Amino acid sequence: RMVSIIPLHAIALGGGNPDQVVCINNAITAFTLNISGGASGILPALNLPTGVTATLSANTITIAGTPTVAGIFNYTITTTGNSCAPVNFNGTITVTADATLSRTSAAGTDAQELCRNVPITDITYLFGGSATGVTVSGLPPGVTSSVSGNTITISGSPTVASSGAYNYTVS
């Protein structure tokens, strides 16, 4: 009689970073995992972002791709093989949405013509997605911007001595 010991499954990071933060529609930095012991394959990966795949070649799993959906993806790679218990490798890929900026004040408020020392009609923008703030440049003296929550308001009275156009930028 003989006793055969089947090696335990193992999965380990081969190279790269398994926990990444990327912008939507930008490729992750590919990374690898290695399986060993009694592991000879993997189940389909659970919860990878759409556009990212786990591909097994020999004993190396390559995780790569371009995520097309924003969110936090806690993924799991599970080994298959001989009758020993499978093991899991877990990681997180966070996909941030694009920054958004949209004018919420009335049409035409972003292009006003008025006299010196006369208040502008407030101009408001809403920012979101992955945007955490905004900057405004190019406003005439006397006109300022302020942020409250995710809304930016441009208001005030231009105090310039001479006439002219002021092209401002909100980013």
Q: What is the DSSP string of the chain?
A: -----PPPEEEEEEES-SSEEEETTSPPPPEEEEEEETEEEEPPPBSPPTTEEEEEETTEEEEEE---S-EEEEEEEEEEESSSPP-EEEEEEEEEPPPEEEE-SPTTTTS----TTPPPPPEEEEEETT-----EE-PPTTEEEEEETTEEEEEE----SS------EE-
Average pLDDT along the chain = 94
Question: For the residues 108-113, what does the mean pLDDT come to?
Answer: 92
Q: What is the pLDDT of residue 6?
A: 80
Question: For the residues 107-134, what does the mean pLDDT come to?
Answer: 92
Q: How confident is the model at residue 7 (pLDDT cuts 50, 70, 90)?
A: confident
Identity of the amino acid at 134: V
Q: What is the pLDDT of residue 43?
A: 96
Residue range 35-91, pLDDT digits in tens: 999 899 999 999 999 999 999 999 999 999 999 999 999 999 999 998 778 999 999
Is pLDDT of 162 > 90?
A: no
